[in-house]
Amino acid sequence: MIHQLNTAKMNRNRSTIIIAVLLFIFFFNPSNAQTISCIRINQLGYPVNGIKVAVWGSDEPITDSIFTIINATDNSIVFRGKTGKDFGEYGPFTHTSRLNFSALNKKGKYIIELNVTKSPVFTIDDAVYDGAADFCLRYMRQQRSGFNPFLKDSCHTHDGYTLYAPVPDSTYINVVGGWHDATDYLQYSTTSANATYHLLAAYRDFPGVFTDVKQSNGLDGSNHIPDVLDEAKWGLDWLLKMHPKDDWLFNQIGDDRDHRGFRLPGDEINLYGHAKERPVYFCNGQPQQRGKFLNNTTGVASTAGKFCSAFALGSILFSGIDKSYSENLLDNSKTAYALGLKKPGVAQTVSVVSPYIYAEDNWTDDMELAGAELHFAEKSNNKGLLSASFYYALQELVTPWLGKDTANHYEWYPFINIGHYELAKQITGIKKDSIILFYKEGIERVWQKAKQNAFFRGIPFIWCSNNLTVNFAIQCYWYRLLSGDDSYIQLEQACFDWLFGCNPWGTSFVYGLPAWGDTPADPHSSLAFLKKYPIDGGLVDGPVYTSIYNNLIGISLYDADEYAPYQSSLAVYHDDYGDYSTNEPTMDGTASLIYLLAARQADADKNKFFKYDNGGIIMGDTTKKEVALVFSADEFCEGIPTIVNALNKNKIKGSFFFTGRFYRNKNNLGYIRQLIKDGDYLGPHSDQHLLYNDWIKRDSLLVTKQQFNNDMKKKPCYNAPTGHTHPSTTIFYAAL
């Protein structure tokens, strides 16, 4: 994934580098220090009813306790809010504060002002994320090996010759296809399988987000299959080639001898002494070459588990499109899982001339996900796979990097435990509760660090910090779905905002997204460097610790650093061809981002069709023929038998909200038990059915705070389970 610069290019840019160094010295010389003050926003914008927070940073303390939001169209003031506390120093800033304007829920274009500092123009609208996930698919298509639809040409059509396989080295095997990992043209099974899984999951979870404007080969034209599935199938087809036999599995194509200057993918040269063929490394479960050393491979399961889960999910999604293909994927999922069982442990990547590898050091999370997905794909009542999956879950409760300050490159991969989410959806009871708590523990570890700074930043600045950020935001989202707990929603949003401009550098880390924003212009990409081709939708690696950057091999900047005032002793980011550590786009990071963007668009889409009044939903999606049947009761229940019969006759469920007075009435317990048995939803209303508001004056209360609290906390008649105090809940459990 790294790309060392050759000497010729470095010499040609010596003068540029000198200028950059002088600028760096100027900005960091105390005698030349310039005051900086800025307001960082999410350049994509904010949904109408979403969380909306900007971050103010400056060398000077806050002198105004109120920030103002101005309509960018007519310059009218539309919102005033209190500045948050001064979080103090972070990165280049001496003073920082969070500016929360979530209460502004009117569509429009706006500017924030504080201490004479103005933000860029931003948008509030439920359409701000529309098409973003599809946009990032452009980068995935551009990374294709074999036929490349962006270049309309083919590359790497001679892959490859085997190494470490149970055949003589240099035996030819056809593994043409897949995606290039990053700027280099290496291809890794682990990142490709993970990317494939994320694309499949994005379609499974948010099918309405994606369009169909491309053919399966990536060229223009509809083929009646959503483009995200076309792209996922490109990954699946290559993974099938890398698992050609039941007991064969390959881990990568090429190695770091590829890192010999910028070139287009079709300009294949004899890098490996085999003409245009590249080495294909077999998963034998044993340490393999790593420069002068061996890597720390201990098994096969880390790769096999990823293959299994991608194949299993693919078999589900393609079952109605191509039955034969679906069955083939399921068969390969089973054989990949068997390989993981046979050879537990990690399969690390190979480098020949440099010390950099994907040093993955965990594998039980991969087997956990594999078991959960395979169980669901087989549609079997056999609980053996789920039991095995839960066993693996207990081997790594929390992804180890969460809450830590550093980690090795791709040491814990994928960057979150996807298996926890997929397993929790298929189990119940204490096991499910435990899995959810594992997610919460990881989030809490990050939160303990994040809450100390205004950006709510708790992600370590290691290589691919943006990948970690995307995946952590997904874990927060999954935890919220599983638990119903939104305690960390501000942290989740802060991670998303960081990616699109709410960071010290004020830039989006996604090429071309948004089109009007500050986004990478000079990414570490052969396509961009040699031909000025856009790499639309590519997520770059992101900021790294300054200490890491200062110790990297063969790195230098081509141009003056436009972000020099915002570099710090904490972390750096450079929008420069020469910085392979912060500005190189990655295929797997982009695939994860596609999932996150699809989730965001799907959530915003729901709000497009809902009607709100005083912050509450009063009408659902009018584009769907759906109604919610809601019943409430206080003193009387004579209509319940009729309601129950009607619901059961039509095989539908209702929602019932009863007062504490209703629940306490022993004459009603039979009805309550019946509703629970039928699977209807029962919840609390109040205790005495107090009238809280005047029907005309909606902002006028008819009860005091004390009356409200007394009603909610009224002691129940029956003993409630520990932690349950409301009368409604108490009687609910009594009925159980």
Write down the domain spans for the chain.
Answer: 37-124, 630-735
3-state secondary structure of 202: helix
- Say if residue 520 is preceded by a cis peptide, omega within 30 of 0: no
**Separation of alpha carbons 3 and 94, rounded Å:** 35
Residue 544, token pair as written in the block: 């790294």
Helix and strand counts by DSSP (H, E) for the chain:
21, 23
pLDDT bracket for residue 621 (50, 70, 90): low
Q: Tens digit of pLDDT for each residue in 90-129?
A: 999 999 999 999 999 999 999 999 988 999 999 999 999 9
Q: Is the pLDDT of residue 268 over 90?
A: no
Residue 140, token pair as written in the block: 């995935």
For residues 672-686, give the mean pLDDT: 87
**Separation of alpha carbons 403 and 548, rounded Å:** 19
Q: Is the pLDDT of residue 699 over 90?
A: no
142 φ/ψ angles, rounded to the nearest 5 degrees = -65, -25
For residues 288-315, give the mean pLDDT: 93
Q: State whether CATH 2.60.40.10 applies to domain 37-124.
A: yes
CB 735 within 8 A of CB 676: yes
pLDDT at residue number 626: 77
Taking the whole predicted model, whether its pTM rises above 0.95 is answered as no
pLDDT bracket for residue 357 (50, 70, 90): confident
Number of neighbours of residue 132 by Cβ within 10 angstroms:
22
Q: Tens digit of pLDDT for each residue in 200-210?
A: 999 999 999 99
H helix intervals, 453-576: 465-483, 489-499, 526-531, 546-549
**Separation of alpha carbons 551 and 510, rounded Å:** 26
Q: Is the pLDDT of residue 469 over 90?
A: yes
Q: Is the pLDDT of residue 316 over 50?
A: yes
Q: Tens digit of pLDDT for each residue in 365-413?
A: 999 999 999 999 998 777 899 999 999 999 999 999 999 999 988 999 9
From residue 144, how far is each of 138, 183, 203, 357 by CA, in Å?
10, 12, 20, 22
pLDDT at residue number 156: 95
Q: Is the pLDDT of residue 729 over 80?
A: no
Sheet holding 681-684, edge to edge: 630-633, 655-658, 681-684
Q: Closest Cα to residue 41, out of 518, 707, 502? A: 502
501/29: higher pLDDT: 501
Q: How many C-alpha atoms does 722 have within 13 Å on its Cβ side?
A: 0
Question: Mean pLDDT in the chain?
Answer: 89
For residues 493-499, give the mean pLDDT: 98
